[in-house]
């Protein structure tokens, strides 16, 4: 696959409202979008750091993947998202052919009008990995 850059770092939080002052008032970043991804049961807040984005992820339901992760003691960076130039569908197929366990067999819609697909952390040296590209 052809990865061009890190698109964003996903950061899991209990409450976006509670952590935003740290990112905005201490780090001097600014939140430019808040969006709910109903499919993933998360509310997201985006901040830009140069070309890379931070995606704050707050669970909207107790069975959200983020709620489960926080419950198990997860803190800080939840996933790393790479932008792929040759398409998420192709990248997922390639990863699978290299024995990587897929969470998503095919791309699905994520926040920010992106198509996304996740690789399972158990087959990616412990990092929950997202591949993404702008939706066409």
Residues 6+ apart with CB under 8 A from 39: 108, 109
Instruction: With CB under 6 A as the rule, give the number of residues binding ligand CMX.
Output: 22
Q: Per 3-state DSSP, what percentage of the chain is helix, strand, and coil (rounded to 5)? A: 25, 40, 30
Q: By CB under 6 A, what part of segment 34-93 binds ligand CMX?
A: 37, 40, 42, 55, 57, 65-66, 68-69, 72, 78-79
Least distance to ligand CMX, CB of residue 114, Å: 9
| DSSP bridge pairs for 77 | 11
**DSSP code, position 122:** G
Q: How many Å apart are CA 105 and CA 101, to the nearest integer?
A: 9
Q: Does 128 bind ligand CMX (CB under 6 A)?
A: yes
Least distance to ligand CMX, CB of residue 117, Å: 10
Least distance to ligand CMX, CB of residue 129, Å: 9
Q: By CB under 6 A, what part of segment 105-124 binds ligand CMX?
A: 110-111, 118, 120-122
State the burial class of residue 48 (Cβ atoms within 10 Å of its Cβ: 0-12, 13-18, 19+). Answer: middle
Binding site for ligand CMX (CB under 6 A): 10, 37, 40, 42, 55, 57, 65-66, 68-69, 72, 78-79, 103, 110-111, 118, 120-122, 126, 128
């Amino acid at each position: 696959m052809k990865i061009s850059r890190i698109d964003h770092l996903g950061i899991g939080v209990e409450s976006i409202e509670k952590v935003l002052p740290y990112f905005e008032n201490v780090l001097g970043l600014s939140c430019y979008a808040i969006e709910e991804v109903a499919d993933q049961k998360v509310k997201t807040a985006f901040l830009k750091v140069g070309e890379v984005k931070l995606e704050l992820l707050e669970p909207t339901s107790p069975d959200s993947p983020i709620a489960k992760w926080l419950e198990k003691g997860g803190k800080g960076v939840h996933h790393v998202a790479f932008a792929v130039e040759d398409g998420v569908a192709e990248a997922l197929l390639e990863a699978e052919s290299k024995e990587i366990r897929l969470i998503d067999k095919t791309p699905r819609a994520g926040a920010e009008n992106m198509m996304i697909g996740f690789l399972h952390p158990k087959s990616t040296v412990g990092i929950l990995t997202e591949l993404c590209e702008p939706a066409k």
